[in-house]
């Protein structure tokens, strides 16, 4: 989604804003802009496209002002264009605003303002904020912002500058992340910590309903009513270099290769020989005895992790599980009450639909466990219990290390529930833990074969349609494999339960439709092979994935990728690795923008 950055201090603002926007670009990148205060004038520069375009627009002779705001936009209201790019001003150019999120009542406010004679330049909801400020201003900057906050509905993180208040930034948040960076005589505001890590690691994480006034002298946090709030300084442990490419050509490839470490980190301190320790989850046997159903709610890749979680929890903890797409969950009156455990899965912890589902579940009395990768994220702060995945910042839009660590989170949660309920013998838990500890090294084994996958990817460069098939847990992984290929290589890929093909989809199989067949689940292996034969009989080229030591699959397919030997339940963490690599190399072979695929954003903070 969009990204915001603001600066006030003694350094020239524009290079700091542009640097911050570069770190945020992955959140949205159809246009960008900055505004600074220069000699009692607001100077705005904007451009469509990537940040290089803005840098060109700014040139070398940019303003030397030490206060400014910047924005990268991912269009919601109004198409991507220079005029719709942020920052936005009022009629008199007295106020300038950057904003993430959506102002839901902007049309009625816009009509009201037009009636009063305001002239709008853009199609955005954001511009309403600048005109409202102009309308409400009666000699008190903060007072005008507060009045605006009371008038608008929706989700937002915003930063405002006023032409005649040259030493002040005012910011506020509701349902959209925002942090304030505390430097030495200088301050930063941003929608994402990454944007300011080059300058400081001390931050305030703003809560919903908080407003902040930043001057060179300090930071004052209050609620929307003006009551002051005390904030704790959060010390960011990871450094900016961790968020850089570290020698890889793309963030996605770097993140694929980080998976052994991410998986190791995520299990750190959580596994004894035959016991799972989840300090952040505090469910007693008595509480669990009251739970009769589990809902897993998430979007996209995180939802795919939830599909695997369903099988694990049902198999190990004997609890019925429903998996729901977060954007659907709220709108069909889910049967959720105090006897339901709701598990929300979100890498960013800021996905609007997932957050809304979390709140809906809490309103209905459910206990909510979050599986998330971002400490301090809204999801992590609002859930009752949190299992953090320790994947580190994920920059590529296509999720890789977040997915495999989410799968690990599902394994940990499934085992934990089984352990508390006593539905798995201790020896069995011990066996699973032993197998889980081997997974990072086995992921590495697969990564060491990246060259073979790169070769295989060449034959996909001209493909336009493909199918991923599998049964049981393989079907869940097939969905993730097909999403990866779609989103970064723009090849139409569909995932099908292997047994379902003959009910219609088989009609699409031709010699030009390669099929990727996942057959790692031993209990349904024979059945999957029958389905592979069905597509082979229609001349499809088939790449098979099966467990190491299984020599039979080679007889039925064109090429086999062997997955290191593990328990069927843990196999998804391994099976997805070649699929991630395949998508990556196909995307490169087709000349696509791997890290920033078209039309997509990393963090989706609108519904």
Active site residues: 2, 602
Q: Which helix (H) or strand (E) holds 153?
A: none
Other CB atoms within 10 A of residue 537 CB: 10
Angle of helix 450-458 versus helix 571-589 axis, rounded to 10: 50
Between 113 and 243, whose beta carbon lies closer to ligand F6R? 243
Which residues make Cβ contacts (< 8 Å) with residue 107, sequence separation at least 6? none
Do the beta carbons of residue 346 and residue 450 sit within 8 Å?
no
Position 18 contacts ligand F6R (CB under 6 A): no
Of the residues 351, 472, 482, 556, which one makes contact with ligand F6R according to CB under 6 A: 351
Position 28 contacts ligand F6R (CB under 6 A): no
Position 605 contacts ligand F6R (CB under 6 A): no
Between 14 and 604, whose beta carbon lies closer to ligand F6R? 604
Position 194 contacts ligand F6R (CB under 6 A): no
Which residues make Cβ contacts (< 8 Å) with residue 238, sequence separation at least 6? 197, 392, 393
Do the beta carbons of residue 169 and residue 8 sit within 8 Å?
yes
Position 144 contacts ligand F6R (CB under 6 A): no
Position 597 contacts ligand F6R (CB under 6 A): no
CA nearest to 20, candidates 272, 263, 240, 262 = 240
In whole angstroms, how close is the CB of 26 to ligand F6R at the nearest point? 11
Position 571 contacts ligand F6R (CB under 6 A): no
CB closest to ligand F6R, residue no: 300
CA distances from 162 to 15, 81, 95, 171, 191 (A): 21, 24, 5, 12, 20
Binding flags for ligand F6R, 460-499, as an x/- string (CB under 6 A): -----------------------x---x------------
What separation, in Å, do the N-terminal and C-terminal C-alpha atoms of the chain show?
11
Position 299 contacts ligand F6R (CB under 6 A): yes
CA distances from 342 to 13, 329, 408, 411 (A): 44, 11, 18, 16
Considering only 79-87, 187-195, 296-304, 446-454, which stretch makes contact with ligand F6R by CB under 6 A? Answer: 296-304
Considering only 48-56, 97-105, 348-356, 509-517, which stretch makes contact with ligand F6R by CB under 6 A? Answer: 348-356
- Per DSSP bridges, beta strands 542-547 and 559-563 are parallel
Binding flags for ligand F6R, 300-319, as an x/- string (CB under 6 A): xxx-----------------
Half-sphere exposure at residue 431, Cβ-oriented, CA atoms within 13 angstroms: 10
β-pair partners for 296:
323, 343
Position 399 contacts ligand F6R (CB under 6 A): yes
Between 340 and 399, whose beta carbon lies closer to ligand F6R? 399
Token pair listed for 97: 């605003």
Position 354 contacts ligand F6R (CB under 6 A): yes
Position 580 contacts ligand F6R (CB under 6 A): no
Angle of helix 401-421 versus helix 426-447 axis, rounded to 10: 170
Considering only 346-354, 359-367, 440-448, 499-507, which stretch makes contact with ligand F6R by CB under 6 A? Answer: 346-354
Of the residues 63, 347, 442, 520, which one makes contact with ligand F6R according to CB under 6 A: 347
Of the residues 37, 179, 278, 398, which one makes contact with ligand F6R according to CB under 6 A: 398
Position 122 contacts ligand F6R (CB under 6 A): no
Which residues sit at the interface with ligand F6R, rule CB under 6 A? Answer: 299-302, 346-348, 351, 354, 398-399, 483, 487, 603-604
């Amino acid at each position: 989604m969009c990204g915001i950055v603001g600066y006030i201090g003694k350094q020239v603002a524009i290079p700091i804003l542009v640097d911050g926007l570069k770190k945020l670009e992955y959140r949205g990148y159809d246009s960008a802009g900055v505004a600074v205060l220069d000699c009692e004038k607001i100077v705005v520069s904007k451009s469509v496209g990537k940040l290089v375009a803005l840098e060109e627009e700014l040139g070398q002779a940019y303003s030397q002002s030490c206060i400014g705001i910047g924005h990268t936009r991912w269009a919601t209201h109004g198409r991507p264009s220079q005029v719709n790019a942020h920052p936005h001003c009022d009629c008199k150019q007295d106020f300038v605003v950057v904003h993430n999120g959506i102002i839901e009542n902007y049309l009625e406010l816009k009509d009201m303002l037009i009636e009063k004679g305001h002239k709008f330049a853009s199609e955005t909801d954001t511009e309403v904020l600048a005109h409202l400020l102009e309308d409400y201003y009666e000699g008190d900057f903060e007072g005008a912002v507060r009045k605006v906050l009371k008038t608008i509905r929706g989700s937002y993180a915003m930063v405002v500058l006023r032409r005649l208040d040259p030493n002040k930034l005012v910011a506020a948040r509701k349902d959209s992340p925002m942090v304030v960076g505390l430097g030495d005589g200088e301050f930063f505001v941003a929608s994402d910590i990454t944007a300011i890590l080059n300058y400081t690691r001390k931050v305030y994480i703003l809560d919903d309903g908080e407003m902040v006034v930043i001057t060179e002298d300090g930071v004052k946090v209050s609620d929307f009513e003006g009551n002051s709030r005390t904030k704790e300084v959060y010390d960011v442990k990871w450094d900016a270099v961790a968020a850089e490419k570290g020698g890889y050509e793309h963030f996605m490839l770097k993140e694929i290769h980080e998976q052994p470490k991410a998986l190791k980190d995520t299990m750190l301190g959580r596994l004894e020989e035959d016991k799972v320790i989840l300090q952040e989850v505090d469910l007693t046997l008595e509480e669990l005895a009251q739970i009769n159903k589990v809902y897993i709610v998430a979007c996209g890749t995180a939802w795919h992790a939830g599909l695997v979680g369903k099988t694990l929890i049902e198999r190990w903890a004997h609890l019925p599980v429903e998996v729901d797409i977060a954007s659907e969950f709220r709108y069909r009156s889910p049967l959720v009450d105090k006897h339901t455990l709701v598990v929300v899965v979100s890498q960013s912890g800021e996905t609007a639909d997932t957050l809304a589902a979390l709140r809906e579940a809490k309103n209905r009395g459910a206990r909510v466990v979050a599986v998330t990768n971002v400490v301090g994220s809204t999801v992590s702060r609002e859930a009752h219990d949190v299992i953090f995945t320790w994947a580190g910042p994920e920059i590529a839009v296509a999720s890789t290390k977040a997915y495999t660590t989410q799968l690990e989170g599902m394994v940990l949660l499934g085992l934990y529930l089984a352990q508390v309920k006593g539905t798995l013998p201790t020896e069995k838990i011990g066996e699973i833990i032993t197998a889980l500890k081997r997974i990072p090294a086995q992921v590495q084994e697969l990564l060491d074969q990246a060259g073979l996958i790169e070769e295989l990817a060449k034959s996909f460069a001209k493909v336009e349609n493909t199918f991923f098939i599998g049964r049981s847990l393989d079907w869940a992984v097939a969905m993730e494999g097909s999403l990866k290929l779609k989103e970064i290589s723009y090849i139409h890929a569909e995932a099908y339960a292997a047994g379902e093909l003959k009910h219609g989809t088989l009609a699409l199989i031709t010699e030009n439709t390669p099929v990727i067949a996942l057959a790692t689940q031993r209990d349904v292996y024979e059945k999957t092979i029958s389905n592979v034969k069905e597509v082979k009989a229609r001349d499809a080229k088939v790449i098979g994935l099966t467990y190491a030591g299984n020599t039979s699959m080679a007889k039925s397919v064109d090429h086999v990728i062997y997955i290191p030997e593990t328990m069927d339940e843990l196999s998804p963490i391994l099976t997805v690795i070649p699929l991630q690599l395949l998508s990556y190399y196909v995307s490169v072979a087709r000349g696509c923008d791997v890290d920033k695929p078209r039309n997509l954003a990393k963090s989706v903070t609108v519904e």
